[in-house]
């Protein structure tokens, strides 16, 4: 079980801020493939990975990052702080 979080327009497109997912995905990219195959709203949200950023256990990382031991994965657009 892994907590998957969505922020900003990713959250709006998928329609929820957080869900628990039972997955055997080895990497973030594998998890994205599983999500895309679920439903159209996921396919739409994950259509262009260059428009997305990912954090594993609250650390920014890349889509090829391993999910081994991960508790939390978050997907969001490029950040706009300041």
Partner 1 sequence: MTVRVQEAPFDMGAEVEAFGKGLKGVGAIVTFSGIVRDEEGTLARMVIEHYAGMTEKALEKIEAEAVKRWNLAESLIIHRFGEMAPGDQIMMVATAARHRVDAFAAAEFLMDYLKSRAPFWKKEFGEDGDSWVAAKDEDEAALDRW
Q: How far is the CB of 29 from partner 1 (least distance, A)?
A: 21
Q: How far is the CB of 50 from partner 1 (least distance, A)?
A: 12
> CA-based angle 78:59:45, to the nearest 5?
40
Question: Of 20 and 24, which has the nearer Cβ to partner 1?
Answer: 20
Q: Quick count: other Cβ atoms within 10 Å of Cβ 79?
A: 10
Question: Of 10 and 32, which has the nearer Cβ to partner 1?
Answer: 10
Q: How far is the CB of 82 from partner 1 (least distance, A)?
A: 4
The residues that touch partner 1, with contacts defined as CB under 8 A, are: 5, 7-9, 11, 55, 58-60, 74, 76-82
Pairing mode, if any, of strands 72-76 and 2-6? parallel
Kindly state the tokens that stand for 68.
């081994």
Question: Of 17 and 33, which has the nearer Cβ to partner 1?
Answer: 17
């Amino acid at each position: 079980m892994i907590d998957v979080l969505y922020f900003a327009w990713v959250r709006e497109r998928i329609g929820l801020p957080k869900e628990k997912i039972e997955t055997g995905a080895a990497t973030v990219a594998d998890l994205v493939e599983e999500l895309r195959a679920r439903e159209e709203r996921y396919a739409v949200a994950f259509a262009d990975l260059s428009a997305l950023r990912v954090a594993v256990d609250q650390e920014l990382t890349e889509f090829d990052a391993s999910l081994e031991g991960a508790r939390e994965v978050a997907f969001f657009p490029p950040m706009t702080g300041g």
